[in-house]
Amino acid sequence: MKEAFPNYYLEFKCIADKCKHNCCIGWEIDVDGETLDFYNSLDTPLGERIRNNITGDEPHFVLSENDRCPFLNNKNLCDIISECGEDAVCEICRLHPRFRNFYDDFVETGLGLCCEEVARIVLFCQDKFSIIIPDKVSLTDEEKEFFEIRNNVFNVLQDRSVSIKGRFEKLASMFRFDMDFSLPKLCSLYHSLERLDDAWTYELDNLRSFVFDEEILEDDDFAIAFEQLACYFVFRHLTDALEFADYKERIRFSVVSCYMIGALWSYYKDKLTKEKMIDIVRMYSSEIEYSEENTKALL
């Protein structure tokens, strides 16, 4: 199947042991059938070790102390990759942090913000987000309409003559939703969702009594970061509107996500660093986008 990628896609390379928030820690790692067959065929000490660390009717690795993958060594490198190469890991490890939007004749592959290196690339990319649909693909009438709507959204979000707040307000008008968000109400909503990391709870608690003046949404120094964030959320989440016809909800989800991230950045504004910006975005993505229940609740 033909595949399309965002303009920044090829910049990504896993930073492995340099990563502060390793994706081999804290996540259940499922083993797909094809990879399980390969592991069962390995007649080596590593093969026996792998088999001894797989359990469940839906096979997955038995996490070790501190929820570490049993094959993540003390140098934070993967023993399976070190011995057998990158193709030997299970599908979820090969794909992460990628996600895919499927259409009738092609697929779009993006990079998820739960990865700190992806967050760094996306937030500080100066070029406007773009993705080129492959030549000679056949689009259904519904897909043609979808891409027209999505391109219009991207055009609004990438109009750099207007402040980010102005761009969001234009989308709110186009899709007929209210931009008069209440941070206390949003904090209560986010608190009600499943939370994976105490650090995320701490960040939400900081906002409970915080007065968000929204100035950051009109600050040119943050405009491109917000633009890239908003384009990312639209790119990742709008495709399902083809099935559910919930364009308004998915655009509003994208705007609210940027609003919450903006509030968190504002809380730290006097001492906000690029690393803190990245970490907040990484946390938000991990907590919201990688929980289907949380995403559905917000939608």
Lowest mean pLDDT among 42-46, 130-134, 235-239: 130-134
The pair phi, psi for residue 114, each rounded to 5°, is -70, -15
pLDDT single digits (tens) 144-158: 999 999 999 999 999
Q: Does residue 268 share a domain with residue 145?
A: yes
Q: Does residue 218 share a domain with residue 71?
A: no
Q: pLDDT-based confidence at 22, cuts 50/70/90?
A: confident
In a domain, 152, yes or no: yes
Helix locations, the chain, DSSP H: 33-41, 45-52, 79-84, 91-95, 116-123, 141-157, 164-175, 183-192, 198-207, 220-237, 241-244, 247-267, 274-284, 292-298
| Average pLDDT taken over every residue of the chain | 95
Total domains in the chain come to 2
Q: Does residue 73 share a domain with residue 192?
A: no
Range 182-191 average pLDDT: 96
Q: Does residue 247 share a domain with residue 158?
A: yes
Range of the domain at 280: 134-298
In a domain, 18, yes or no: no
In a domain, 171, yes or no: yes
Q: Does residue 282 share a domain with residue 140?
A: yes
Contact present, 49 and 84 (Cβ < 8 Å): no
Q: Which of 166, 185, 198, 179 has the alpha carbon at shortest distance from 283?
A: 198
Q: Does residue 262 share a domain with residue 208?
A: yes
Q: pLDDT-based confidence at 132, cuts 50/70/90?
A: confident
Residue ending a domain, among 95, 122, 154, is: 95
Q: Does residue 147 share a domain with residue 294?
A: yes
Lowest mean pLDDT among 119-123, 130-134, 184-188, 230-234: 130-134
Residue 26 has pLDDT above 90, yes or no: no
Q: Does residue 151 share a domain with residue 72?
A: no
pLDDT > 90: what percent of the chain? 91
Distance from C-alpha of 78 to C-alpha of 89, rounded to nearest angstrom? 9
Q: Does residue 160 share a domain with residue 285?
A: yes
Q: Does residue 173 share a domain with residue 244?
A: yes
* pLDDT (0 to 100) of residue 79: 95
Q: Does residue 140 share a domain with residue 90?
A: no
Residue type, 46: L
pLDDT single digits (tens) 100-116: 999 999 999 999 999 99
Residue recorded with tokens 């499927």: 102
For the entire predicted model, the pTM comes to 0.93
In a domain, 200, yes or no: yes
Residue 6 has pLDDT above 90, yes or no: yes
In a domain, 278, yes or no: yes
Distance from C-alpha of 3 to C-alpha of 56, rounded to nearest angstrom? 34
Q: Does residue 233 share a domain with residue 185?
A: yes
The pair phi, psi for residue 113, each rounded to 5°, is -75, -5
In a domain, 8, yes or no: no
Q: pLDDT-based confidence at 66, cuts 50/70/90?
A: confident
